[in-house]
Homo-oligomer: A and B are copies of this chain.
Amino acid sequence: MPVTLNTADADFETRFIEMLSAKREDSTDVHDAVAGIVARVRTEGDLALCELTARFDRLQLDPDGLRITEAEIARQVAKVSAEDRAALELAAERIRAYHERQLPRDESWVDDSGATLGWRWTPVSAAGLYVPGGQAAYPSSVLMNAIPARVAGVERLVVCVPTPDGVLNPLVLLAAQLSGVDEIYRIGGAQAVAAMAYGTETIEPVDKITGPGNAYVAAAKRQVFGRVGIDMIAGPSEVLVIAEGAQNPDWLALDLLAQAEHDADAQSILMTTDPALGHAVAGAVDRILPTLPRAEIAGASWRDYGTIIIVRDLQEAAQLSNRIAPEHLELCVDDPEALSQDCVHAGAIFLGAHTPEAVGDYVSGPNHVLPTARSARFSSGLSVMDFLKRTTLARLTPGALAAIGPAAMRLAASEGLQAHGASVEARLVQLNERQKE
């Protein structure tokens, strides 16, 4: 049995806060190590990339070999089965359709003063997508990162994916191809982030870097932030399932285990109004867990972070959910729409018993790159907006300047910025002189 909390217990608040503040990630400070790697890539370029790739990925490369060639991609992609290709194409199409609706509109209007105001959205010119390698080399992540960039209109799309021991992942390459990625490099870690931010002889720099990664990747993104844009610092994944009594315990157990199998640091939480359901789900998890190929990972996650919380009612569930601010929130209740209105801090909400979180990882359409570790309090999943920026526009007529310029002069004076005021005044003086003529 995992930890079971009950909001009726006297020590609930203490234990809930304990759960909320539990650090699920190794907190080793890799700042200095990463700073060293970033500095090396900046000064030594391709040479540093080759040496670091040899060291970390056990792969000897010349600078010429950093980029995965079209021929290699074609060879790998040819290995993908028709069924896998069809599934990936369906996912790509649905993700594209969802994200196309996110394109924001430009605005322009004339206000009372006669000023024309507005803004305009334009895409980032070049984006770099980090795709984790090895155990977590997910083709679905390529789609989720690259398609929003393409929908936004990004001209140049780069992928960096480490290939430990030189092993390429055909589905990752196919996903990149389906998404319209322009360049793929077989590098990973902090060195990949540094290369995309600063450029090397072989890799032109990009303007924005997105995608999840380990502690080194996260630290590197943090350090290059400002030089380039980044999406977010992703932590271990989590799901909160809120369920009422009549739900199928096996389904809920599988949803919890689907989260747990990602990573030993992942967290699966069941919140239910029905203690019997909580008990049944815990039993189902115990029964199903040993049958999973990733039983060791899922078991560690469930043992260390799995939690069942018994609540009085759904209002209480929503309040606690808002404090958790879960990355994924499943509402397996009779009226999920109503409950979702009260759940204001969540990355993605899955409504009803026939929307398992796993469909959101692949094919439902919304992005699966979502805010973790309570950051849904202040941030959103990846979207088309991450690859766009907004330029504000203002055009004042002489009349508009006459109407609002004096207030600007007054405020400039109060802030001690005389040239600010004078730049307005010089124009107003001329307007006044013209009026006199």
Contact = CB atoms under 8 A, between A and B. Distances in A.
A390 B396 contact: no
B348 A404 contact: no
A403 to B, nearest CB: 9
Given A292-B418, A389-B376, A414-B139, A423 B346 contact: no
Contact of A404 (B90, B345, B390): B90
A225 interface: yes
Contacts of A340: 120, 393
Contact of A410 (B87, B345, B404): B87
Contacts of A262: 417
Given A101-B107, A111-B97, A360 B394 contact: yes
Nearest to A428: B354
A58 interface: no
Nearest to A397: B354
Interface in A101-136: 101-102, 104, 107, 109, 111, 115-117, 119-120, 122, 124-125
Contact of A361 (B138, B248, B375, B412): B412
Contact of A254 (B97, B208, B419): B419
Query: Range of interface residues on chain A?
Result: 35 or more
Contacts of A392: 347-349, 366-367, 381
A219 to B, nearest CB: 11
Given A363-B404, A394-B348, A415-B139, A410 B84 contact: yes
B261 A419 contact: yes
A330 B9 CA distance: 63
A200 to B, nearest CB: 16
Contacts of A337: 395
A91 interface: yes
B254 A391 contact: no
Interface string A254-291: 11011011100000000000000000000000001000
A260 B251 CA distance: 64
B254 A422 contact: yes
Given A226-B232, A349-B391, 7 more contacts: A91-B411, A116-B351, A248-B426, A258-B417, A288-B422, A351-B393, A362-B411
Interface of A: 31, 83-84, 86-88, 90-91, 94, 97-98, 101-102, 104, 107, 109, 111, 115-117, 119-120, 122, 124-125, 138-140, 171, 207-208, 222, 225-226, 228-229, 232-233, 235, 248, 250-251, 254-255, 257-258, 260-262, 288, 292-294, 298, 336-337, 340, 343-367, 371, 373, 375-381, 383, 385, 389-398, 400-401, 404-408, 410-412, 414-424, 426-427, 430
